[in-house]
Structure 1
Amino acid sequence: MIEFRGAGPAEFVERLDTVIDIYTAAMNPPVDQINGRKTIMRNHGTYPHFQCYFAELRDPSLSVPLTVGFAYGFRGTPGQWWHDVVFRALTDRLGHEAANAWLGYALELAEIHVHPDFQGKGIGRAMIRTLCAGRPERSAVLSTHDQPTAARHLYASMGFQDLLTRFVFPGGYEDYAIMGRPLPLT
């Protein structure tokens, strides 16, 4: 049985090695980027209204629950790298009013990952629903690879729409889609 357990910043940082293990299994990043990703994630834990959920397999044969996924987000605010970069790009393409409507009071879904052995079982969808439940923000926003991936399909099936496509972050080379949807999730 999979259960979702909330964790605040302190527990998230304590479990960062587990988080990185799941991230690495799911995303297969270049080895030289893992330490930088860990630093970024640790920093995310300091952002306002940070919340994390762990997906845990509870089985009588296990002495402790097995963490099979995690998702976290926080309220985006000016001064945060992702927020500022995306706000500028949205302003350039859609205008200041649209950028403010999407990012002015938004839950930024920073990371959503399920270990590959447990993907395709509805865990990612359930973590997103759990993370978004009861949030006061008016929208949820995220970035994902701009390809027909399972993750992109999941977000679209949950009502997320493309705000930007073929977006390349500064210093990057891959195309991303910036997606958003109004809250609450229905």
Structure 2
Amino acid sequence: MIELRHAGPEEFAASLDTVIDIYTVAMRPPTDQLTGRQSIMRNHATYPRFTCLVAETTDGVAVGFGYGFHGSPGQWWHDVVRRSLEEREGPATAAAWFENAFEIAEIHVRPEYQGKGVGRRLVHGLCAGRGERTAVMSTHDQPTAARHLYQRLGFVDLIGMYVFPGGYEHYAIVGATLPLQPMP
């Protein structure tokens, strides 16, 4: 059985080694990116209304995590993506999605626990009770299990085949109106 528990910003920052380990086995990024990713995650914990959930086995072994925060001007992802959406769809569309958004920064589950509802529970748990109007995130723009999960939860494509500045991978920027649709 997997249980979800909240981790505050201080606990999250203190457990970054575990978080990075889960991120690494789930995403298999180039090792030279891990130090930068850890720094980004540490910084995210300082953002307004940061919330984190950790998925653990009954004996306390972390098998997944997810976190997000209130998106605000001055945050790199928020500014870059909002500007791109504004250029493509206009200021009204960008405002509708980003004026009062919960930005889901990371959702990762160890491969041996994927496909068992852990990711769905993390997304729902993070979004439950939020005061924001929308939830937004980026995900690889490929037909992955995660991408299908987000679609089933009500996330729609805002921008497809998006490459972040300085990057090379294609992402989909997706958004959903809160509260999320319940899973059948």
Q: Say whether the fold is shared (TM-score over 0.5).
A: yes
Match of 1:27 in 2: 27
In the aligned structure 1, how far is the partner of 2:138 from the partner of 2:3? 26
In the aligned structure 2, how far is the partner of 1:7 from the partner of 1:66? 14
Match of 1:81 in 2: 76
In the aligned structure 2, how far is the partner of 1:95 from the partner of 1:182? 19
- Letter of the aligned partner of 1:82 in structure 2? W
Question: For each residue in 1:41-96, what CA deviation from the matched residue of structure 2 results, as whole angstroms up to 9, or x when unmatched?
Answer: 0000000000000000004xxxxx11000000000000000000001000001101
In the aligned structure 2, how far is the partner of 1:120 from the partner of 1:173? 28
In the aligned structure 2, how far is the partner of 1:9 from the partner of 1:97? 33
In the aligned structure 1, how far is the partner of 2:149 from the partner of 2:116? 12
Match of 1:41 in 2: 41
Alignment of 1:106-145 (within 5 A): 106-145=101-140
Which of 156, 175, 183 is the aligned partner of 2:178?
A: 183
Question: Which 4+ runs in 1 deviate beyond 6 A?
Answer: none
- Letter of the aligned partner of 1:55 in structure 2? A
In structure 1, stretches of 5+ residues that fail to align are 60-64
Question: For each residue in 1:96-147, what CA deviation from the matched residue of structure 2 results, as whole angstroms up to 9, or x when unmatched?
Answer: 1110110111000000000011111000000110100000000000000111
TM-score, normalised via structure 1 length: 0.96
| Number of equivalenced pairs | 181
> Identity over aligned residues, as a percent?
64
Question: For each residue in 1:130-175, what CA deviation from the matched residue of structure 2 results, as whole angstroms up to 9, or x when unmatched?
Answer: 1000000000000001111111111001110000001110000111
RMSD (Å), alpha carbons: 0.6
Match of 1:146 in 2: 141
Match of 2:92 in 1: 97
In the aligned structure 2, how far is the partner of 1:88 from the partner of 1:142? 15
Per-residue deviation, 1:185? 1.4
TM-score, normalised via structure 2 length: 0.97
In the aligned structure 1, how far is the partner of 2:11 from the partner of 2:174? 28
- Partner SS, residue 178 of structure 1: strand
Match of 1:6 in 2: 6
